[in-house]
Structure 1
Amino acid sequence: MRSFQQINQVFTMEWVVKIGGSLFPEHAAALLESLEGTGAAVVCGGGAFADMVRYHDRKFGFSDTANHEAAIMCMDITGRLISDLVESAVPVRTVTDCREAIKRGLTPVILPSGLLRYTDPAEHSWRVTSDSLSLMIAHMLKAKLLIATDVDGIYTERPPASDAKLINDISAKDLLSFGETSVDEALPELLIELKSDCYVVNGKYPSRVLSILRAGASECVCTVIRGD
């Protein structure tokens, strides 16, 4: 397996869209279909499959590595199933296949277990989910990360609190103190480490995702998390 540095030398792209497991299957399929022709690559969250691993871990106490690897394989499962529903999408396991899919005008859905098997520097714990792993893949590809989930972004309070307000822009350093949000706990730390930004947007509205891909976050309902 080639290192991150070797991979970066042969392929770059502008966007990786992480489609959250909370959107599986209908909203995920609709969003994936809308990405045709954008040149973006997709990574899918593990959704209910990963939740099942977490549930059984509480009962049996699997090792951190077993949980981590199983959760990544759950990302493979959702990606494989969603790509089967969308004619313009194709499941890929390598950077080369990702590049070829985009050349053919298709949307590559990265099944990450093979890609991360020997190049995964992530902490093995439930603090790290598909959000952080998608950021690692985006960094590998020198791409920006957009996280599409089932809420509009990061809030001052966890929805559905009546006084929760959407935060349009926040530093990863400030987000560290928020605890549980719509992104995983390790993501702000990784954004700071990689000096990277990411966007969090409601994937139930594909037009919002497309607006960010085309023009950035200006006048879009979303949250930008800055890693500066």
Structure 2
Amino acid sequence: MWVVKLGGSLLGSPELNAWLDMLAQQSDGRIVIVPGGGIFADAVREAQRTVAFDDAAAHHMALLAMEQYGLTLKSLQPKLVTAASELEISERSWQHRAIVWMPSKMVLADETIPQNWSVTSDSLAAWLAGKVNASRLVLVKQAQIEDSEAPLEQLVKASILDQAFVEFAAGLSCRIHVVNKSGHAEFARVLAGGPLPTRAF
């Protein structure tokens, strides 16, 4: 199983549709897509600045924002299916479908996950990778990765990865790849058995 996080900043870009089409066609039950928050999470941030509700409420709303983005992805590529639990992920995998994760049920059930903005879809993708024993974790980003050998801490400092990512990724046994949104063709070759010519940990 591979966990692939599609950043919210890809929304509206032609690259997003290319990723969705490729994942739907080549997944064969091997892919779980983690949706970013994008403009939906930005709306939660803005609302919190305006109304000053607490971080626990913002955390719950941000998870629902990820689900809004996930539903958008499914609408853009109808061959995708959604899953909200480990059992549903397994069932959809057996059906050889490309899966979009709906995170709120699983994440809210884990009281060890901090309920603040240090944890975004990046860290939750790493958390899910551990849950499903993923063989690879791929984070698809708008940002260009200038140094393919840069440590994770440097990507956190550059705001390419969220503040909690290093902690969430620490216990993973799978390889981690951070790729630009333009890398869908290379990724397709990887799914077909080829090497991934980008950073790996």
TM interval, shorter chain, is 0.7 to 0.9
Question: Secondary structure in 2 aligned to 1:91?
Answer: strand
Residues 180, 152 of structure 1: CA spacing in aligned structure 2 closer, same or farther, 3 A cutoff? closer
> What is the TM-score normalised by the length of structure 2?
0.86
Q: Deviations over 1:56-101 (max 9, x none)?
A: 2222222111111111110111101211221321112122222222
Contact 1:72 1:112 in 2 (8 A): yes
Match of residue 26 from structure 2: 37
Q: CA deviation at 1:25?
A: 4.0
Matched, 1:125 2:104: no
Match of residue 58 from structure 1: 49
Contact 2:44 2:61 in 1 (8 A): yes
Q: Deviations over 1:140-161 (max 9, x none)?
A: 00112100111233xxxxxxxx
Question: Which whole-Å CA distance do the structure 2 matches of 1:216 and 1:142 have between them?
Answer: 21
Question: Which whole-Å CA distance do the structure 2 matches of 1:21 and 1:200 have between them?
Answer: 15
Question: Which whole-Å CA distance do the structure 2 matches of 1:25 and 1:76 have between them?
Answer: 17
Question: Which whole-Å CA distance do the structure 2 matches of 1:189 and 1:216 have between them?
Answer: 27
Amino acid at match of 1:186: A
Amino acid at match of 2:17: A
> What is the TM-score normalised by the length of structure 1?
0.76
| Superposition CA RMSD, Å | 2.2
Superposed counterparts of 1:30-179, under 5 Å: 30-35=18-23, 36-38=25-27, 39-119=30-110, 121-143=112-134, 144-153=136-145, 166-172=146-152, 174-175=153-154, 179=157
Q: CA deviation at 1:216?
A: 4.6
Q: CA deviation at 1:120?
A: 5.2
Larger radius of gyration: 1
Aligned residue pair count: 195
Which consecutive residues of structure 2, in runs of 5 or more, have no partner in the other structure? Answer: none
Question: Which whole-Å CA distance do the structure 2 matches of 1:126 and 1:53 have between them?
Answer: 11
Residues 197, 125 of structure 1: CA spacing in aligned structure 2 closer, same or farther, 3 A cutoff? farther
Residues 37, 71 of structure 1: CA spacing in aligned structure 2 closer, same or farther, 3 A cutoff? same
Q: CA deviation at 1:169?
A: 2.1
Contact 1:91 1:111 in 2 (8 A): yes
Contact 2:38 2:69 in 1 (8 A): yes
The alignment-based identity, stated in percent, is 28
Match of residue 167 from structure 2: 189
Contact 2:85 2:106 in 1 (8 A): yes
Question: Which whole-Å CA distance do the structure 2 matches of 1:168 and 1:57 have between them?
Answer: 36
Which consecutive residues of structure 1, in runs of 5 or more, have no partner in the other structure? Answer: 1-12, 154-165
Question: Secondary structure in 1 aligned to 2:81?
Answer: strand
Residues 110, 51 of structure 1: CA spacing in aligned structure 2 closer, same or farther, 3 A cutoff? same
